[in-house]
Chains A and B, each alone.
Chain A
Amino acid sequence: MMDYEKVGLMVGIEIHQQLDTRHKLFCYCPTPHREVEESNFEFIRYLRLKKSEIGEEDRAAREEVERSRRFVYKYYDTTCLVEADEEPPRELNREALEIAIQVAKMLNMEFADEVHVMRKIVIDGSNTTGFQRTALVAFDGFIEVDGKRIGIATLCLEEEACRKVDEGEGYAVYSLDRLGIPLVEIGTEPDINTPEMAKKVAAKLGMILRSTGKVKRGLGTIRQDVNISIRDGARVEIKGVQDLDILDKIVEYEVVRQLNLLEIREELKRRKAEVDGRIFDVTDVFRNTKSKIIRNKTVKAILLKGFAGLVGKEIQPGRRLGTEFADIAKTFGLGGIFHTDELPAYGISEDEVKNLKAFVAAEEGDAVIMAAGDAARVERALKRIIERAKYCLVGVPEETRKANEDGTTSYLRPLPGAARMYPETDVPPVLITQEMLEVEIPELIEERARRYEKLLPKDLAWEMADSPYYRLFEEYAAKMQPTVVARVLHILPAYLRKEGVNVDVLEERHFRLVLDMILNNEMAKEGAEEALKILAERPDAGRKEVLSRIGVAEDLDGFIRKLVEEKADLIAERGEGAFKPLMGLVMKEFRGRVDGKVVAEKLRRAIEDFIG
């Protein structure tokens, strides 16, 4: 078990939650997800970096520009000229601001008197304008998790970026459907000091957000960015953690990565290692290579003196220092890199490795890294890899990384500087009035869950409290058995989804129909599963159709009457003893559709009547 206090772990979380508003933050477009095939128009753009007055360029933006890409944007009938950067933004969406204020109040925050919309430079193409519009709404709040107070530094209202749908050498394709959906970004102070705490804080913030009932739900509607640092390490921002379950693992693995990088630094110092700054054109060495990956391409190499064995050293499960270099190459549009710690391989022969080493005058103990592809791209990527390799002698570089599904992370870009924000003059500032602050704070999901624990088993109480249909639950739980209501609203849909039934089409009216049929004794509670299934398949089916398809009470009576006639001999012979075998026959037909108790009662009466 790692001693996180000893390594000086500090974690801050940034939550980005999409709001469920009627329209986008700076235009009147709706916010549905669209399939790329539904796009009715596309256009292309390039983005350019702008220098500040003091001649400074944002380093993250600079690197994006050097990757120099052409951006293709997919347009839909649900997007407009504002998303296309062909019309000025409209005024800030008040509905979104109201939700942001509500959330901020729940986080015990202090408010700005006047909200100013800013432009945050983003040059990766995910914003058509080259910036993201963002506004600081509140600051200085806190929440309590396990008795520990976690500071909430800022709450910002900002626009969601485009969805990347494809990319390749020199281009990226983005979908405009997501651009402009309102987001609240909540940033904690770096008060978190264990991986478990990180997960708990994120879960609590998520719970608070959902308690408003005004946030979007489902895949990709909430994302966590995690800022992690350890003593002697560096602040690393990990972007886009979609799955809360791996948040602790991400923190854990990042600590491991930083410790390993520090260890590599110590070893490099011991070896007196250094990075030769030159880029060698080694295309001729591979003139007749059998490796398909580099054949007929420009191949260039760099020399890392004293790095042998370390480039292949694992720093996170399945990831080596070489993988970090390969990440950089990939961001410059290349397939990756080769390094001598892993060669000969990939069709590159031992002789070629020998010639490569001779070409760059590599000695025993040195490592050579090479990349192949378009000459200019290879040059730019290797230049950046040299920079990164030099940093191995310093320690852990500050950077932005992206979360992988297994909890490891990959290099994305340098950490953006603070010098990248300027006012969005197209949107007037908004005064936060006393009236706007008088918004009611909703009941928290956890408070609601505690109320439900009196009605339901604990796990189910929490699920039900967190359900978008909790209001429906409360309404029907007052009239019928709460467990039956929870079963219809939560357990059965979850089960049917696993069975492959498309329960996403079910709406409140469908659940009401099913609950009413049970409440009015038109259907046994056992029939609910079948009824929901029918409604999922035919959402427009009415009450009559559902009842006729699951078999109504009349059918049951008829079936029993017929059965009693057919089995007259048996009943005559066994009397009431015939109940058991006959019950089996009825249930074979009606199981899951009619309550067993009802069947038993009817059958018993029919037998009694027959016997007279």
Chain B
Amino acid sequence: MLEGRRVRIKAKGRVFEGIAMPSFTGNFVLKLDNGYNIGFKEYELLEVLDEERFEVEIPQLARKEGLPNLKIISTGGTIASKVDYRTGAVTSQFSAEEIASEVPELTEICNVDAELLYNILSENMKPQNWIELARHVYDALKKHDGVIITHGTDTMHYSSAALSFMISTPKPVVFVGAQRSSDRPSSDAAMNLLCAARVASEDLGEVVVTMHGSTSDDFCYVHRGVKVRKNHTSRRDAFQSINIRPIARVEYPSLNVEWISWRFRRNERELNLMDRLEEKVVLIKFFPGLRSDILEYYHSRGFRGFVIEGTGLGHVSTDWMETLRRICEDSVVVMTSQCLWGRVCDRVYDTGRDLIRAGVIEGEDMLPEVALIKLMWLLGNYSMEEAKEMVKKNIVGEIEPTTKY
């Protein structure tokens, strides 16, 4: 293996010295001493040169009296990754000392313990990962004043919804991530982490997501874990609260917190864990022309939980009625809307009334993804009949009683 080794090669009729780099195109990639990488189709290896490796010394963190003790659990979000300028590799390591050395301001607002639970991309998250994560957070909540979970942004709102249902928490559980990888000087990671640490120290008792509130580095929003959604593929302010205002706004760099809407306060609820999830639950987005066979397929595979992302107030084509009637006999079918904003109401039009008669349950103002997770949790912990009862009942803030401007 030449990668990472210092070599001398001959190419294009002259001699080059540098570090052999990983290549994805089959060509030989060399990092020259001026820092540039360059690819050669043909080369002759002249010599492999040995180089001393450096050991990094990281100073021990001293605990400060009077500061809240927070636990940071990493699931693979590269919130404090490092870049090796020599090889160009970006590595994600995770000790409290390393985090503190990257974001030194953190040590002024809290004492940090860190745990690397996963190192996976958030698109690879599975319900089993949520269960394991919930258990770790539950344990941490017994000892710490608050928990921060660093998470990839792609599915962060699914995870925050899952933990919202699984853990009844008296303390803040704060999800945080970065839209720009944290190896860049412009990354949003540090500011998001600092705001998250402040929120995790506050008078709060629920699962939230803390991310940039605008494209500027000026404030973060705190979103309820069951009312948040990633609404942009790349912007820093991709996460938005839907059908509710954000819970709070954290100014940066002052870290002053302004509470905006109602919240569960610290110690308002007892610590409790209900960590079962039924995985055979599916979210189906209806579109013109989609046949109800898709429902039959999942039903035949043993799925008993269905969330439909319908149109408008919560509709699907009338051709689906017969199938829905049959499936509703032994399954929970929840209607949500692809509009995302607003509340489902199946009592306005005939189609809606037919849906209710068929046994479909209105998902109120729940986000489709949140309804999916809620159903997984309900079917994992309650009987079918109880689950049907609880779909329309607000449990952790996933349903707002009234819709505001």
Interface residues of A (CB under 8 A from B): 43-56, 58, 61, 81, 84-88, 110-116, 118-121, 123, 128-131, 134-136, 140, 154, 156, 418-423, 425, 429, 431
- The reply to whether the CB of B14 lies closer than 8 angstroms to some CB of chain A is yes
B190-A48 in contact (CB<8A)? yes
- The reply to whether the CB of B280 lies closer than 8 angstroms to some CB of chain A is no
B184-A429 in contact (CB<8A)? no
B185-A121 in contact (CB<8A)? yes
A118-B37 in contact (CB<8A)? yes
A50-B217 in contact (CB<8A)? no
Report the 9 A-B pairs with minimum CB-CB distance, sorted nearest first. Answer: A130-B185, A114-B39, A421-B35, A53-B84, A116-B37, A422-B88, A136-B36, A54-B54, A423-B88
- The reply to whether the CB of B318 lies closer than 8 angstroms to some CB of chain A is no
Restricting to B28-50, which residues have a CB under 8 Å from any CB of A? 29, 32-42
B37-A129 in contact (CB<8A)? no
A421 CB contacts on chain B under 8 angstroms? 34-36, 85, 88
- The reply to whether the CB of B129 lies closer than 8 angstroms to some CB of chain A is no
B84 CB contacts on chain A under 8 angstroms? 52-54, 422
A-B residue pairs in contact (CB < 8 Å), sample of 13:
A46-B253, A48-B187, A50-B82, A52-B84, A58-B85, A110-B13, A113-B41, A114-B41, A116-B29, A134-B36, A420-B85, A421-B34, A421-B36
How many angstroms between the C-alpha atoms of A56 and B210 in the bound complex? Answer: 31
B35-A115 in contact (CB<8A)? no
The B interface is mostly helix, strand or loop, or mixed, namely loop
How many angstroms between the C-alpha atoms of A345 and B13 in the bound complex? Answer: 64
Inter-chain pairs besides A116-B37, A421-B34, 17 sampled, C-beta below 8 Å: A47-B186, A49-B185, A50-B82, A53-B82, A53-B85, A86-B235, A88-B234, A110-B13, A114-B38, A116-B38, A118-B35, A120-B35, A419-B35, A421-B35, A422-B90, A425-B90, A429-B25
B-side interface size class: 35 or more
B35-A45 in contact (CB<8A)? no
A113-B39 in contact (CB<8A)? yes
B184-A50 in contact (CB<8A)? yes
How many angstroms between the C-alpha atoms of A164 and B101 in the bound complex? Answer: 31
B12 CB contacts on chain A under 8 angstroms? 110-111, 140
A130 CB contacts on chain B under 8 angstroms? 184-186
How many angstroms between the C-alpha atoms of A115 and B38 in the bound complex? Answer: 6
How many angstroms between the C-alpha atoms of A49 and B187 in the bound complex? Answer: 10
- The reply to whether the CB of B183 lies closer than 8 angstroms to some CB of chain A is yes
Answer whether A112 and B85 are a contact pair too, CB < 8 Å, given A50-B184, A86-B236, A131-B184.
Answer: no
- The reply to whether the CB of B231 lies closer than 8 angstroms to some CB of chain A is no
- Mask, B324-340, CB within 8 Å of A = 1, is 00000000000000000
A81-B57 in contact (CB<8A)? no
- The reply to whether the CB of B294 lies closer than 8 angstroms to some CB of chain A is no
Shortest Cβ distance from residue A255 to the other chain B in the assembled complex, whole angstroms: 26
A81 CB contacts on chain B under 8 angstroms? 234-235
B35-A420 in contact (CB<8A)? yes
A87 CB contacts on chain B under 8 angstroms? 233-235
Shortest Cβ distance from residue B60 to the other chain A in the assembled complex, whole angstroms: 15
- Mask, B203-244, CB within 8 Å of A = 1, is 000000000001111100000000000000111100000000
Restricting to B78-136, which residues have a CB under 8 Å from any CB of A? 82-86, 88-91, 101-102
Shortest Cβ distance from residue B17 to the other chain A in the assembled complex, whole angstroms: 13
- The reply to whether the CB of B180 lies closer than 8 angstroms to some CB of chain A is yes
B234-A129 in contact (CB<8A)? no
A140-B234 in contact (CB<8A)? no
A50-B185 in contact (CB<8A)? yes
Q: Which residue of chain A lies nearest to B181 when distances are taken between CB atoms in the complex?
A: A425
- The reply to whether the CB of B62 lies closer than 8 angstroms to some CB of chain A is no
Q: Which residue of chain B lies nearest to A51 when distances are taken between CB atoms in the complex?
A: B82
A51-B101 in contact (CB<8A)? yes
A45-B56 in contact (CB<8A)? no
Q: Which residue of chain A lies nearest to B235 when distances are taken between CB atoms in the complex?
A: A86
